[in-house]
Amino acid sequence: METLYTTKRNQSNIAPPGGAAALAVIGELNVDLLVTGLSDMPKFGCETLAAAFETVLGSASAIFASGVAQLGHTVNFYSRVGDDDFGRFCLRALEERGIATGKIAVSGASRTGVTISLSTPSDRALVTFLGAIAELSYDDLPKNALDGSSHLHLTSYFLQHQLRPSFVRLFREARQRGMTTSFDPNSDPSEAWTSEIWDVVREADIFLVNESEALALTGEASAEAAAARLATEVPCPVIKLGSRGAIGVAGREIVKVPSFPISPLDTTGAGDSFAAGFVHAYLSGGDLESCLLTGNACGAMSALKAGGTAGQPNTSELAAFLAQHPCGRSTNERKGGA
């Protein structure tokens, strides 16, 4: 099987197989107020008891950044927070994970974003106050923001109101530098999925979405059909299927791998941990199957602990998990003609 380096983009300036890379992550930063152990989702007019509550590092960008940092990569992280307790909490949490915070703008005029995550063992609901999430703009970034990085990851397209118009520009600047790119838009709170997002999708090397997002974006009725549609626009579309695994397309190859059998504690951030694992394997020279398996493993390990980052593995922990769960590879499907 060919590695994923053979795409229609210029990918000459990427890390060699097996080597650690430097990634630029530009995006939102917030805390998650995590309520876990709910037997069912709360209803207005009723009181629901939770088993546990934690304040943890949130945001798709930070959870992805933490995941790739755990796997040995350097992260150049650009974001914006308020000069408040939640902002300071986020900065400390990133530093504890080895991510430098000197490129994060701290504004006394802003309030740090907050997401309330209500989690059952099988799913979660999110309520977000945007605050500084919506305020980060291209003009906040230094002119040399992409210097020293070989890969750019962008996410949370619909939440970042000021940065959203610059997603295409950032991806094009990255490609001009020979960088590889990945894009995980996350959900659209308005559920509109306006056509402008396709301009961003077409600029990315790797496009990551979950199943409901893929169906909403493409209008297709199945993940397989959505993957085939996306493959006409982007070199490597990946659809996260939750408990059913993941499906990806590269060139003329479609690969579907099953999930790992676990009993999840909390699925908050599991998709972002999947993205971190997939990109890690991609930058290490992995083929499509190994990238999907690594993504599934990182997502599963994240879901074994509360919050998006506590369960994220380092390389030795990831290798041990994969060795203990060979069944994750047993039912993948391959076919040509994607």
The CATH number of the domain holding residue 58 is 3.40.1190.20
Look at residue 2 and tell me if it is in a domain.
Answer: no
Q: Span 236-258, mean pLDDT?
A: 94
Average pLDDT of 153-168?
A: 97
- For the chain, how many structural domains are there in total? 1
In a domain, 4, yes or no: no
The model's pLDDT over 135-155, given as tens digits with 9 standing for 90+, comes to 999 999 999 999 999 999 999
**Is 230 exposed, middle or buried (CB count within 10 Å of its CB: 0-12, 13-18, 19+)?**
buried
Residue 244 within any structural domain of the chain? yes
Residue 10 lies in a domain: no
Could you tell me if residue 57 is inside a domain?
A: yes
Q: Is the pLDDT of residue 278 over 50?
A: yes
Whether residue 11 lies inside any domain: the answer is no
Tens-digit pLDDT profile for residues 28-72: 999 999 898 888 888 899 998 999 999 999 999 999 999 999 999
- Asked whether residue 315 is domain-assigned, the answer is yes
Q: Residue 231 domain-assigned?
A: yes
Domain that holds residue 262: 26-40+49-335
